[in-house]
Structure 1
Amino acid sequence: MVTIRFRSKALDRLNQRDDLDAPAELTRPRTWIALVVVAVLVVGGGVWAMNAELPRKVAASGILTYSEGSFSLQSPVSGQINGVYVDQGDTFPAGTPIFSVQVGKRVEVVKAITGGRITAMLGKLGQVISAGSELAVVERIDGKNDQLVAVLYVPTTDAGQVRKGSQVDLAVRSAPAQEYGVLRGVVQSISQFTESRQQITDFLGDDQLGEQFSSQGQPLKVVVKLLPRQTASGYEWSTQSGPPFRIDSRTLVDGALYLPPIKPIDWVVL
């Protein structure tokens, strides 16, 4: 004879009546709270995505110079330099004698074809040169009151949304931004076509700069007008006074060009 033993809990459960008419509890209160929190977050996120504006900017390197750029003064003849009539930093009008070169028994005078300022003296007294040798780098300026501009070379992949009048911040390498802040400016013009290495070299009068600014491909040239202000440098800075010294041309800068802000919802739409 087989004896079957039941656990007391199982027997009690068999004796209980079925509560078929009792209301079923679908969710607990804490679940409702969680759903409400999620709904608030979704609605709040949607409102933020449609109304918030996120700032954007493009980074580019460049140089402080004058709007007409620079050129390399070359010797038209071969011979020996026997006269140097200007010093580095001198400003002069067009037609000023810069060098004289002894060619056999005659002397050839090398004159400036335009007014400017010597930023680099390459030829030296007594130096033997050949035709085409670079004697000096000359900035094209009309006078000492000409205003500097910043020329930035922006990669084409980033330049599409840069606009005339956009704000620009310039970190000047000769004036640490941690101490003096950044130089303020606005976009004055944007080149319609990309610039080759040779075009950059011709504008700046420096082959090394041409190579540096075109190392990642042919960029677009963006000219930035510096905002004037009564400071030691003559321009506006993010700090109250900026550096206590003059900022000269041929100084390298790192620029941040601010683009029109974008709404987060545009990312979803795009």
Structure 2
Amino acid sequence: MKFRFKALQRMREPDELDSPTLLASPRGWIATFVVLIIVAAAGVWFFVGRLPVTVSASGVLTRPAGTARLQSPYGGTVRSMLVRPDDAVRRGQEVAVITVDGGTGRVSERVVRSPFTGRVVAFNAVDGHVVAPGEELLLIERTDAPDDRLVAMLFVPVDRAMGVVPGRPVDLSVSSAPPGAFGLLRGRVHSVSAYPVMLEQAADLVGGVEAARGYLKGAPARLVIVDLERDPSTPSGYAWSTKDGPPVPLQSQVSVAGAIVLGSQTMFDLLLGR
């Protein structure tokens, strides 16, 4: 039987009973302390750190008076539309001429005037179009409110409107200014409707039943008016979560998604459902 030299040498050496035993290397202790610090910090944040509580809602950038549908008081054929989209109109201005057949071969022309001041948003009739009395001709964004300005109208579902009161901060994602590139538009709640807004009321504000359905999502909602925070240093003139926001002025009749900040709570409270 042959024995290797190293094995024989090991048998001749006495046991090293007085040598210290290395339980962990310095690198291992450092990693352990780092993990303990992280766990302690997470525990403190769990009880002390606060998370914002928000409610989301969709809406539109518009004027306080909203939009209005200008209807024809006469039945007949549209001879001429006197305004175009984006035109400014004043109260009493002629906007259309309608040829009316009075019977027995009598034909007359009637002028339709705008009953309010505003800006033409959309057309529902063109030259040569046959209209009935009460049929919509134009959609006009009204600018004749005493406190005319650009605001956001949000439609908050009734079951989530608790806690939405004037003064609450609001972050708005504007469809024409992607938040990934330009950030969020800043605002504050100006007012909350005392009663839920129904489909017909919302349609008068946003310019039609189809648009209103998209905002109400099939359920009554509270109308929340949001004042936009001003910032003269930005190209748009309003405050954004980024330094400058978009490089162009804001336009009305643009869809927005809002997050209304209701307060904050700790993770511990959230876990307990408080």
Same-fold status (TM-score > 0.5): yes
2:262 aligned partner:
259
Structure 1 residues not aligned, in runs of 5+ = 1-42
Tell me the equivalent position of 1:16: none
In the alignment, is residue 223 of structure 1 matched against residue 220 of structure 2? Answer: no
Give the alignment's Cα RMSD to 1 decimal: 2.5
Q: Which runs of 5+ in 2 are unaligned?
A: 1-39, 102-106
Q: What is the aligned length?
A: 230
In the TM superposition, residue 65 of structure 1 has moved relative to its aligned partner by 0.4
Equivalent residues in 2 for 1:114-133 (5 A)?
Answer: 114-133=116-135
1:72 corresponds to which residue?
69
Structure 1 CA distance for aligned equivalents of residues 227 and 79 of structure 2: 41
What does the per-residue CA deviation read over 1:110-137, in whole Å, with 9 as the maximum and x for residues that have no partner?
1111111111122111211111211110
- Partner Cα separation in structure 1 for residue 252 and residue 239 of structure 2: 16
Partner residue of 1:172?
Answer: 174
Equivalent in 158, 161, 164 of residue 163 of structure 2: 161
Q: What does 1:1-270 align with in structure 2 at a 5 Å threshold? A: 51-104=48-101, 105-142=107-144, 146-230=148-232, 231-263=234-266, 266=269, 268=272, 270=274
Sequence identity (%):
35
Scaled by the length of structure 2, the TM-score of the pair is: 0.77
CA distance in 2, matches of 1:269, 1:133: 52
147-156 or 227-236, which deviates more = 227-236
Is residue 64–residue 148 contact of structure 2 (8 Å, CA) maintained in 1?
Answer: no
Q: Counterparts of 2:78 and 2:170 in 1: how far apart (Å)?
A: 44
Q: Could you tell me how far apart the structure 2 residues matched to 1:97 and 1:86 are?
A: 8
- The C-alpha deviation readout for 1:196-217, integer Å capped at 9, x for no partner, is 1111001222111111122241
Q: Secondary structure at the match of 1:163?
A: coil
Q: Distance in 1 between matches of 2:43 and 2:180?
A: 38
* Residue 84 of structure 1, CA deviation: 1.6
Deviations 1:199-256 (CA, angstroms, capped at 9, x unpaired): 1001222111111122241111111001111222221111111111122111001111
Q: For residues 269 and 142 of structure 1, what CA distance do their matches in structure 2 show?
A: 47
TM-score of the two chains, using structure 1 as the length reference: 0.78
8 Å contact 1:155–1:216 — kept in the other structure?
A: no
